[in-house]
Structure formats: structure tokens, C-alpha cells
Amino acid sequence: MVSSIRSATPSRPGRCALPAHSGVSTYEPRNPESSVVVRVLREHLSEFEEAVEQHVAEAEEPSGSDDASVGTKGLPPWVVSQLRAMASCGDFLRGFTVWQCGTCERHRIIPFSCKTRVCSSCAARRMNDTAAWLTDRILVRGARWRQYVVTFPAPLAVGLCFRSALASAVTRLSIRVLFGHQRRRAPASEGRPHPAAVVWLQRFSDALGCWFHLHALLPDGVFRERPGSLDVEFESQPAPTHAEMECLVRTLSRRVLGLLRRRAAADPADAPLLEQLASAPEATRHRDPTPPPSRVRPAPRLCVRHDDFTLHAATSVAPGDTQALERLIRYVARPPVSEDRLRELDDGRIQLRLKRARRDGVRAVTFTPVSFIARLAALIPPPGANQVLYFGALATGSPLRRHILPEPPASTPQRPTAPPRPAKMPHRDLLKRVFLADVTRCPCGGVLTVVDVVEKPDVVQAVLAAIILCDQAPPRAPPT
């Protein structure tokens, strides 16, 4: 019965879909069986765990070598629990909510999600919630917000993914360099200039690798608190010049390398085994049969490099353009895995199409299922680790924060307003805001409401079995 429920229930996840002519986008809950990540985890997670156990056992055997760089600890418990949660994301057997229409009494069941940070569906929900909250309640609308992308040399970018204390120190130092630049550009006046920033700590690359880099949103200007007044004014500044960017990246390189010389040896890896999993080999690389001829590419505007440190600041959003600002935040807060670029080959291997071709012509990489899960495991951040940080006037402890937060816009049916923290935006409101889909609308025009939350395994199987039998029952004859 369990196998029949697992195969039958996802085929009818949303039994009250809106018709195409209703004027509102049709909402259909996703089918987890169509997710490459979910299928690979369900079929090969036990194989991956056995391979890890074997690797740890071999590393613990005395080999006569004094090399202490090989970690002998197994997978952290939080990695195992999140991988297993991702494997059951959207599974009706884990539980679901029951919705009922108050007019026609039709039902819809929606399964629970895993709420992990690597799951493309659950991380996308967190991405949209963060973008809505920042746009509505945090970021000043009268400022031009500019994205600064800070990348580091290859060994450092990989190592920082597994050294949280060192990564925090490098992040704070990088923001101090950017803040110092903005303070020096501020005109001499009464009151101290206060920069502000929202920073995302990204730990992934395009090819499912671990690569620590920073995406920071800073306004083109500073906030200034006038002496003897509670008013905080925003002073705009022009965009940075190319010469200023070159000076910034040289300063950043010098100070980060100095920090590493002082404390790199005192910051061992948080989870040595995860650092090894990050280098799980790719099975094959797919190149263009006729790669384009090499040519000298012009340097992008406001993009500079020094000692393999790069700083990019060409992307900005005009003041008052809240929709463009929200799209930019969704980009910097995106999930590490995109289901649209994954494909399961006939031989069971997983192919990942790159966002853009590399200079050597590589357009896609292929992994075995175990290597693919190893890459996923290395991307899972530790529990409680903040991936979004606030600095300067936007920091939680800043006395200026409450004076510069904007008034939230009025909520509309098509664009609900994000609630104040710690509340999260309801999923139904996110669907309206992002996809213009109303999950609470029934085809009859009524309103769907939650009537039950089913979590107990025996009740779950009984309800799902009843749904299967109801779907398989022949239609009744009309009454005579």
C-alpha cells in the first residue's frame, strides 16, 4: 500500500486548479518526482552514506604516515539530517495540509516541504521572502543601491567555505574597506557619515562547487546624523570610478593577505570531511565541438582584478525602482542548485549545464550519483550560520537603523506587503507577489481554507488510501 500511495498521490497534488480563463494564474503544487535532486537522493543516499563510512574507516586505519590533513570524522549530523529531509521534500507520506472550499466543498492537499537551504524549492521560497522584506521594510527607496561582488583567490575561496570564523573576519574586513572608501568621499560637514550594507555570504559556484564570495548591497551615499537633532539625512554620492575601484581591490588584497598571515594557521577546518567532499571528481566535461576562437575580451566596466582578487560594482538600481531592486535581491539570494539546468542521463549520471560556457569551451559537467550527492553535502551550511549580514547604519544594534527604515507600501491583492520580522511572509502571499497565483481560489469562485493538518503516519496512509480509492472508483449514475 505504501508504494502505491507514493506513486499515485503526486499525480494529483492540486485537485482544485484554477482554469486558464479565470484571470488568475493557475497554481499546481510541484511534483517532487520531477525533481532530479529528490530522485537522486531517494535512490542513492544510502549508497553515499555507505561510501562515506568506508572512506572514514580507511582513513582511521594506521598507515604509518604522519599526514594529519585527512579528516577521520564522519559527516556532521546536520548534513545527514538535511540530506534526508531533502529526499522526502514534498512527500505526502511525511504529512500534508488539507484545504477545503467553503462553497463547493472540494478538497486540496498540499504536502510539507523540507525547509532546507540547499533544496531549490525551499531555498527559493526563502529567497523571495527575503527580497520582499528588504524591499518593503529595510532598504531606503530614495537611494541608488549598488551591488559589490568580492571574490578571492581559488585556494582561499574554497577554504573559507569550511572555516566560519576566518570567513567572518574576512567579511568584516572587506566591508570595512568599502565603508572607508565611502567615508573618505563624503564631504566635510557636521555629523559623522554612516555607510550601510546588506551582505550575502555565498558558498557555491556555477558548477556545483564550493566557492566563497561576497555579494554586498550598498547605497551610493552615506547617512548623516545631525548634531542636536533626531533627523537622519541621506547624502548621495556619484558612482565609483575605475581608478577608485583599482585602489580598493589593491587595498583589499593587501589587508586580507595580512589577515591570513596572522591567523590562518589558527583556524582549522570546521568539518574536514566536507572539505574533501567539495572536491568530488566530475565524471566528464562536455565541450563545444568547435570552440569559438580565442579573442581578447574588453575589461568590463567597474570590474578590477589584483592578485586574483576581483571587485565588481557595475550593477546598480535607480532610486525608487523597487521592482528592479527586488529582482536584484532575488539574484544575490538565489539557491545554489537550479533544477532547470539539471538532467538525468540514461546511464543514471547527472548532467549539470553551466550558466555560460567557460573559456575552454566547457558547457556542461557530468557527475555520478554519489559524487553529485557529495557536492550537495559540501554546500550545506552549518545550522544557525547567518548567510545574510547587516553592517553600518543597517546593523541591528545601530541607533540610526530605526530612523532610516522606510514606511512599508500599502498592500494590494496582487502585491501583498511583507510583514515585520520575526514573522515570515505566508506562502500564499509569496505566490501572489511573485507568480500572481492565488492558492486560496477555487474554480467555483469560492475560497479555500485549511481545515486539517495531518502528521501522524497511520492517519496519513489512511487519508491517502481513501483518495486513491476515490480516484479509482467508477462514476456514479445520475439519480433517477
Q: Under DSSP, is residue 420 helix (H, G, I), strand (E, B) or coil?
A: coil
CA angle 145, 315, 299 (to 5 degrees): 145
pLDDT of residue 12: 34
Cβ(190)–Cβ(213) below 8 Å: no
Q: What is the pLDDT of residues 137-173, one digit of tens each?
A: 999 999 999 999 999 999 899 999 999 999 999 999 9
- What pLDDT sits at residue 20? 37
- Residue at grid coordinates 506587503: 417
Q: Which of 262-271, 383-392, 399-408, 413-422 has the lowest mean pLDDT?
A: 262-271
Q: Is a pLDDT exceeding 80 seen at residue 6?
A: no
Q: How confident is the model over 67-80, as a mean pLDDT?
A: 66
Which of the four pLDDT bands, split at 50, 70 and 90, describes residue 476?
Answer: low
Task: Rank 12-16, 67-71, 224-228 by mean pLDDT and report only the highest.
Answer: 224-228
pTM of the predicted model, to two decimals? Answer: 0.86
Q: Euclidean distance between the first and final Cα of the chain, in Å?
A: 36
Whether the pLDDT of residue 402 is over 80: the answer is: yes
Mean pLDDT of 195-211: 93
Please state which of the ranges 10-14, 167-171, 285-289 shows the lowest mean pLDDT: 10-14
Which DSSP string corresponds to 65-105?
A: -----S------HHHHHHHHHHHTTT-GGG-EEEEEETTT-
Could you tell me which of 246, 235, 245 has the C-alpha nearest to residue 193? 235
**What is the pLDDT of the chain when averaged over all its residues?**
84
pLDDT of 293 over the 60 cut: no
Per-residue pLDDT band for 468 (boundaries 50, 70, 90) equals: low
Q: How many other C-beta atoms are found inside a 10 Å radius of the C-beta of residue 469?
A: 9
The stretch 128-138 carries a mean pLDDT of: 95
Q: CA 19, 20, 21, 24 torsion: positive or negative? A: positive
Whether 11 has a pLDDT exceeding 50, the answer reads: no
pLDDT, mean of residues 444-464: 83
Tell me how far CA of residue 6 lies from CA of 87, 160, 238, 431, 460, in angstroms. 13, 41, 58, 26, 11
Least confident of 9-13, 285-289, 392-396, 429-433: 9-13
How confident is residue 231, by pLDDT bands cut at 50, 70 and 90? confident
Q: Are 363 and 56 in contact (CB under 8 A)?
A: no
Q: Which of 182-186, 228-232, 397-401 has the lowest mean pLDDT?
A: 228-232
d(CA 166, CA 269): 10
Is the peptide bond prior to 422 cis by the omega test (within 30 degrees of 0)?
A: yes
Is the confidence at residue 474, as pLDDT, over 80?
no
